[in-house]
Amino acid sequence: MAEHLDIVEGTKEEKYEVLYRQVVSLMEGETDCIANMANVSAMIQETFHFWWTGFYRVVDGVLVLGPFQGPLACTRIKYGRGVCGTAWKENKTQLVPDVEQFPGHIACSSASKSEIVVPLRRDGEVTGVLDIDSEYLATFDETDQKWLEKIAALF
């Protein structure tokens, strides 16, 4: 890789532009979904140093923990439960500025204060989610949503 993500400077938008290009080029060269989830979670962390970044995959009707970066997390999340299960059920990104205000939020870590969960889809159906947690309130906004949805669309 030519660019080193951890020394990228600039606005959030600029960081996402570089990150997105990196993800596109990574995924052009690799078709294995788990391998790509592992590297994409690492690349997001190298760029933004969030509290937790990772994937859950729909396996036998439940979200099962996939590749991630950060502290250990709950392994299984039911349909409609927590922020992840809601993103799955509603087939829609969940932007949560304060997790304490989200009914049914699943606290994998008490340090997590805000969260964004973006569905991954195949033929319109949710096949998994990209979940990012922050230890600060209101970390995520429409810029994160726009770019993370573009990244999720690559899976």
Is 73 one of the binding residues for ligand SME (CB under 6 A)? yes
Is 82 one of the binding residues for ligand SME (CB under 6 A)? yes
Candidate segments 23-31, 36-44, 106-114, 142-150, binder of ligand SME by CB under 6 A: 106-114
Closer Cβ to ligand SME, 57 or 105, answer by number: 105
What is the 3-state secondary structure of the chain?
A: CCCCHHHCCCCHHHHHHHHHHHHHHHHHCCCCHHHHHHHHHHHHHHHHCCCEEEEEEEECCEEEEEEEECCCCCCEECCCCHHHHHHHHHCCCEEECCHHHCCCCCCCCCCCCEEEEEEEEECCEEEEEEEEEECCCCCCCHHHHHHHHHHHCCC
Q: Which of 106, 111, 135, 145 binds ligand SME (CB under 6 A)?
A: 106
Closer Cβ to ligand SME, 22 or 53, answer by number: 53
Is 126 one of the binding residues for ligand SME (CB under 6 A)? no
Residues that bind ligand SME (CB under 6 A): 52, 73-74, 77, 82-85, 105-106, 108, 112, 115, 131, 133
